[in-house]
Structure 1
Amino acid sequence: MKTVKGPGIFLAQFIGTDAPYNSLEGLAKWASALGYKALQIPCNHPAIFDLEKAATSQTYCDEVTGVLAKYNMVISELSTHLEGQLIAVHPAHDVAFDGFAPAAVQGDYTRRTEWATRQVKLAAIASQKLGLTAHATFSGSLAWPYLYPWPPHNPHLLEEAFNELARRWLPVLNTFDDNGVDVCFEIHPGEDLHDGVTFERFLDKVNQHIRCNMLYDPSHLHLQHIDYIDYIDIYHSRIKAFHVKDAEFQVNGRSGVYGGYQRWIDRAGRFRSLGDGQIDFKTIFSKMAQYDYDGWAVLEWECCLKDADTGAREGAEFIRQHIIPVADRAFDDFAASDNQQASILNQLGLNRGI
């Protein structure tokens, strides 16, 4: 068995304009002081991490790893959540997501999609240069506006949506395969890959591609009322990245899974800092150890109540306490008996004849 690596921290919610949150070194020093061992780095902040340079310069990649090494830190994964989102955007979301792209391609669906696809491919190359084996992203969504079957369920529309999603992602998956890196789609409402069934459907469309994997975040499953423990039993072989994020669902008579268009703090389902929600992390970390999960446990902080710095500080210790240092031997090894054939036959009484 393998011990889960961690704790790591996803930087997306912490990058800012003031020190220490405005530079990679400042963030590394800050995170290290809190007890983190790895950073998951988004690729949409060139001042923090320059994806173009990383994909073309081994020297730059070595400089980045050197900066982190000063604080006993490494990179867990790169992230292209926003860029992955832009690979497949339904017209209903076109304006809302346009700001994820640079001004030069905003308002031009074709150029924006090409830009996003190129960025994610660059992340594959950069990941290889950095010695990484997994990458975090979103799938994007063409079918999400048709989530609930009204108008009535249209199987042909959904079939075409997943055919197109696969067509757009196959070249990207192949680029990641060329670089020996797994694509880990975060299973997330708002994405076409938002549960196990949709992941399986996409996996079939990309011919069970070896690089098509998932980022496991129990909070998004819990808020959909999916058994997030059974999910690990089913999909553990495809789980290659792990966001440690807490959530709670408070059943009430006014709103439910869809949230009633309310702010997060007012929804029945909402994200919480680690230990403040309902997620059973003891069982999750046990399952990860049981199935030899070989990646990082990475905090993603999104809480509707608690201060971010407090959530980050508490999160490092929470993850550290939940990581199970796996045993290198069975507890009952001391009582093991002789495995010689003669002894085995003797124990079974098979050396006495019939």
Structure 2
Amino acid sequence: MGGLAGNETLKGPAVFLAQFAGTEAPFNSLEGMCKWASDLGYKGIQIPTWECNLIDIDKAAESQVYCDELKGKVNSYGLEITELSTHLQGQLVAVNPAYDTMFDGFAPEAVRGNPKARTEWAIDFVKKSGTASARLGLNTHATFSGALMWHTVYPWPQRPNGLVDMGFAALAKRWLPILNHFDEQGVDVCYEIHPGEDLHDGISYERFLEATGNHARANLLYDPSHFVLQQLDYLAFIDIYHERIRAFHVKDAEFNPTGKQGVYGGYTDWKDRAGRFRSLGDGQVDFSGIFSKLTTYGLDLWAVMEWECCIKSSEQGAKEGAPFIKKHIIEAATRSFDDFAGGAIDEDYLKRILGI
């Protein structure tokens, strides 16, 4: 009863194009992927900025004409752009030297082997993506935080005193110029809370938020699959952080520990791990509970499928994703079921009921 003013119907279904983009048609062009997504029943697309066949960030940051044409092209297929994504470039904003070699592959050849130049390139690229987002009329942006401390997440030897404070201060120092730029553009930075990132759970996010002075643009991309793999209460997370959740990945996962392995997976391949990602509906995520909470809190979000499954084909996963999300989207109530008992306030009538 009551509280209906805050209800909001989630938008969707939408799809993150990153796991489907490729070198062959229709996955090698924006037009091809738009037609593919539209034919499958999707209403929105989240665009990975590292796929230059889909978007040219340099042009998008400089030219309103380019952005208008790109947006018009997407709209012509009955689609909207939900967000741009800089997951890979955001990762490169902060890379511990232990991971330099593996993460160099995400960077242009010109800055590989040069961590300082790579970081500067990543910061500049994410800023340009903020400008591009604003030109496209978007107010949210998806990314990763990067990681300076991840190699100490389960430490041996123990972390020295002051390391974590210094780490979050250093991470915030790299991100504050980006956050300030996004603030000027009127766009929220939505960090996907994810193992491998310094922002991997609620506590680490709060530490970062504190280090940025509770920056208004340092917000969240909610993806329950990563919480299943960490054994974190993903429904309670919404209760705690709903005011900061500005983006949503609909992604399934399961966790089946054995006598041989648990959260860390024993270095096994994805299909053999206790925790693994699944196609929508094949895992353990309580999406009915999630969609109910997000709707109850009145969050204005796109429900964006991110597909990663080590068992089912991407073709089947994409085909099943749109109807799965559509089935879970709740049309928010505009009136209470017992509105017949309401009406204008009559103080004399209320006093008679109370006997006063």
Please confirm whether the aligned pair reaches a TM-score higher than 0.5, indicating the same fold: yes
**Superposed displacement of residue 335, structure 1:** 2.2
Q: Does 1:183 align with 2:192?
A: no
Kindly provide the amino acid, as one letter, of the partner of residue 311 in structure 1.
Answer: G
Q: From 80, 86, 89, give the equivalent of 1:83.
A: 89
Retained in 2: the 8 A contact 1:338–1:344?
Answer: no
**CA offsets per residue over residues 258-308 of structure 1, 9 Å max, x none?**
111111001000000000000000000000001111010000000010000
Evaluate the alpha carbon distance shift between residue 341 and residue 56 of structure 1 in structure 2; reply closer, same or farther with a 3 A threshold: same
Helix, strand or coil at the partner of 1:223: helix
Structure 2: which 5+ runs fail to align?
Answer: 1-6
The corresponding residue for 1:202 is 208
Instruction: Tell me the TM-score normalised to structure 1 length.
Output: 0.98
Helix, strand or coil at the partner of 2:241: helix
Q: From 272, 277, 285, give the equivalent of 2:278.
A: 272
Structure 1: which 5+ runs fail to align?
Answer: none
Kindly provide the amino acid, as one letter, of the partner of residue 333 in structure 2.
Answer: A
Which moved further from structure 2: 264-273 or 156-165? 156-165
**Superposed displacement of residue 337, structure 1:** 5.2
2-structure distance, mates of 1:294, 1:49: 25
Kindly provide the amino acid, as one letter, of the partner of residue 127 in structure 1.
Answer: S
Which moved further from structure 2: 49-58 or 153-162? 153-162
Q: From 17, 20, 31, give the equivalent of 2:23.
A: 17
2-structure distance, mates of 1:146, 1:215: 24
Kindly tell me the number of residue pairs found equivalent between the two proteins. Answer: 350
Q: Does 1:155 align with 2:186?
A: no
1-structure distance, mates of 2:342, 2:140: 39
The corresponding residue for 1:220 is 226
Q: Does 1:136 align with 2:142?
A: yes
Q: From 308, 312, 316, give the equivalent of 2:314.
A: 308
2-structure distance, mates of 1:326, 1:295: 13
Percent identity among equivalent residues?
Answer: 59
Q: From 318, 342, 353, give the equivalent of 1:336.
A: 342
1-structure distance, mates of 2:76, 2:24: 21
Instruction: Tell me the TM-score normalised to structure 2 length.
Output: 0.97
Kindly provide the amino acid, as one letter, of the partner of residue 7 in structure 1.
Answer: P
Cα RMSD after superposing both structures: 0.8
Retained in 2: the 8 A contact 1:182–1:211?
Answer: yes
The corresponding residue for 1:31 is 37
Helix, strand or coil at the partner of 2:271: helix
**Superposed displacement of residue 207, structure 1:** 0.4
Kindly provide the amino acid, as one letter, of the partner of residue 202 in structure 2.
Answer: G
Q: How does 1:5-154 map to 2 (within 5 A)?
A: 5-154=11-160
Q: Which runs of 4+ in 1 moved over 3 A?
A: none
